[in-house]
Structure 1
């Protein structure tokens, strides 16, 4: 399987925040945003592996600024690391106030997807070849984020998380 670049999975999705998408404060509901982010991440995953895939986990979904009724939601997603059968997707979200003509950062998250074969079992995926400095930074951090996910899911012992141990040893020295 030939390696792919993050640019090959790059996905942009836009949505308009309508009254049915908001809470009583006139802000986009977090669950609705997560739904849209999951769709964008799913498209990016599909572009990377050319096969059906499903969400395994969502990490570090941080809410920086609310997106208001009538604003446009702008979501960017791309694969930042591919493992054997799973891939980590980095998402950035902005709100856009069309009336006042400005964009503002709203959210960021990491989603993990696993590729599936026709029987619904995990399947091998192409590796990822990061190109830009930002892509290389996300790629390197993905292994540590993966080890944290595995430890929290009780699928890895903390003492086996070599990348995390190396990071903390580096910080201490």
Structure 2
């Protein structure tokens, strides 16, 4: 989806949305990163409903970005560095469909780029298991409750403890190391 000629949307699911905001929020060309829910059947679901598994939604972030400053392919590269792309059952400590990794494309160009990016990662040999992230058409996106927005800024100690306690930080460091720090 194009917000205007330069601004576009990207939607990524990678486990707990708290951990998916900060890496994108710090990149030039990113205008907004919103935590929310997508891919389900209930309109305007609550966090409790999504966590219960009855809505079919996945926690995700929706990113508004300036495509003249940062191309979508760069967002894909950063996305892969935030998740375990070989785990379809959730991410790190968080298990279940509401935490599954997925790329939700907003147009055909994004779909093609996401498929190619996934193929490149799979063929890179970086992981010994197959890349299982799904690539799906974008569906309605519902903003999460305000206390979930910019959680890393509002609750830095809790955010850092969660990043480390869930195993996400260690996984990222082990698989991406210095490359992750350069993004």
Asked whether the two chains share a fold, i.e. TM above 0.5, the reply is no
Larger radius of gyration: 1
Q: Under a length normalisation based on structure 2, what TM-score does the superposition of the two structures give?
A: 0.27
Higher helix share: 2
Bigger RCO (CA 8 Å, 6+ sep): 2
> More strand per residue: 1 or 2?
1
TM (norm. structure 1) is 0.28
